[in-house]
Amino acid sequence: MQSKFFNHQGASLHYQIGGKEAAPVMVLLHGGFGSISDFEPLLPRLLQHYRMIAVDTRGHGRSTLGTTVLTYAQVADDVRQILRSESVENYSLFGFSDGGIT
């Protein structure tokens, strides 16, 4: 997985991308107080079948909090902007806890 950063509304948002280039995209969203590392046990298997994008949500992992209020709507917008920057239009989403609510 390759680490990248995307600046949005005062935050530096960290995400990782990897897997099969032409495969379907799956986006991973961790729970509250978590990070991308929560998915490490799953990644070897998922990378064989999908193009993976895992996001450290605003204020978690290697992402900064920025200047806006942390809400589920804000996190959803952050992810939407990351996906646009990667030219991803179609994807599946896997999230748990706060990531599932988002």
In order of 27, 34, 42, 49, the CA distances from 89 in angstroms are 12, 26, 24, 18
Tell me, what's the pLDDT at 98?
A: 96
What's the pTM? 0.95
The CATH architecture to which 2-101 belongs is 3-Layer(aba) Sandwich (3.40)
Render pLDDT for 7-49 as a digit per residue (tens, 0 to 9). Answer: 999 999 999 999 999 999 999 999 999 999 999 999 999 999 9
Tell me, what's the pLDDT at 101?
A: 95
Render pLDDT for 57-94 as a digit per residue (tens, 0 to 9). Answer: 999 999 999 999 999 999 999 999 999 999 999 999 99
Distance between CA atoms of residues 39 and 16, nearest Å: 11
